[in-house]
Structure 1
Amino acid sequence: MRFFRYMFFSLVIVSTTLLCKEADATASISLVGMSMDYREYTPYGELIDSEEASLGTIVGVDMGLGYLLSTRSDSYEMLEANVILLGGDTLYTGSYLENGGAYGSVTSTTQNILVDMDVAYSYSTLLSPYLELSYGIGVGYHYWRRALSASQVETYTWYSLRPAVGAKYKMSERFSVELLAEYQYGINPKMYLNSFDLEFILSSANILEVSLPIRYQYNKLIELFCTMVFQKQSLGRSNLVYAGGVGYYEPDSKAESQYLKLGVAFKF
């Protein structure tokens, strides 16, 4: 909750700054469709369970604010804040732990809520009128509420450091395309299980994300964009936690997700 408050006040600061210098501000909103392929494994690499959803099954919005910190003839600096809110169902495939059934012996529907927030600084260098390179660093927070049933809700949370690099190519006066790569190093990754009131400390959280935005400058104040995002996530096995004399742990997991974003950005 403290980080939610931190992100909220960061957004307030950025938005207040936008009102002070009109020419240096941007605000964006986009509709988001997400796919998910999430899999958990035993220490021996055997598949335990999975969550799957096709692109657009999980949907939501991405809202952003940006502020131009400085500009020179061949470079500029930006401060940006983003919030992504998503929700939807995934197909769970697994087994009951109690009877030791094989993978696939149980299928059900999982309800998901995902929130991702970040504040990032970036520095861009203009190599030519058509090409620019950028690099930056951000801090973020990730939240995933995975409701397998009313009695079994798993909540994953972590903070993250997010270094990023990118390139932008201006194809014409109105069209441009970008290639962005970001690594997210998870800090204090946890999973809370409501059914036993247990908290598991995950050993690691590593995310690699590649984005491909295509932008169309409708006029001086409005920009339309379409962004495809490819993401790979790896979570490390947790510590062993005991309840009723029985030891439990959160297993290793890997996930691949895609996001399609269609949106509009406004300059002020």
Structure 2
Amino acid sequence: MADERMRRTPRQKYGEELKIRRLAADMTQEALSDGVVCSPTLISHFEAGRRLPSPVDAQRIDLALGTDGFFTRWLTDLDGKYAQHFAFVAEFERQATKLRHFSLSLVPGLLQTRAYSQEVLRTFHANYSADDIDRQVVNRLERAQTLDNPEGPVLWCLVDETVIRRQIGGPRVMADQLAKIAGMAEAGRLRLHVLTFAGGAHALMESMLYLMSFDDAPPIAYVEGLHTGHLMDDPAMVRSCRTAYDLALGDALSHRESVALVRSVAREYEDDAR
């Protein structure tokens, strides 16, 4: 059976607590919806974790249930800064003692510069507002602060050569981005390994992979696709993911060779930017 923490998102926890408090107050969904001034169906969505109430709705829930601002205060911690499928990943990486990331085409979010992140996020949206992009960039940069802590998790990054060769945002953006990665690797905050084109096929060609290890909990694995992600805690699945990572790592350049390659490509971008 999957660990309970894998199966309940923060929104679902909010909804489950709402249902518990509603039943404790001996209220039906219809009765609560009258107090909130919404449909019973919307209350059902709240309780299932499919939707979050607005701040006004949360205030009305507190008034109807007599919960003294409980759901209003909790809502501020569920501001949707991350996509729902990624919310738990963001929580777990702060608790992890070791992070091992494989990236197939993009610089991992924890390592992205502001300019690189802006270009990536703009590309993901056909219609976007500058404010929305700025908010997402800030969220991504805040995640990266976990690496500023000397007692934070050890980070291993295994990247396909595509990550450093695909020009995102132009040569100036790429030069700065690769300089940041190389600098972190040289400073001991990052173990870096590149899977080169010359190496041919490797065990992680089909997907990105994120492995997280903890002192007081079993390891977990995460894979992500377009608008979706899958968090795994089943021991057999996690072992299989770790084996694939180890196989790919065995085909990669050494840390020293990888840093040298990234520095070399960064210089090429520097030349193009002049």
Regarding TM over 0.5, the answer is no
TM-score (norm 1): 0.23
TM-score (norm 2): 0.23
**Structure with more helix by fraction:** 2
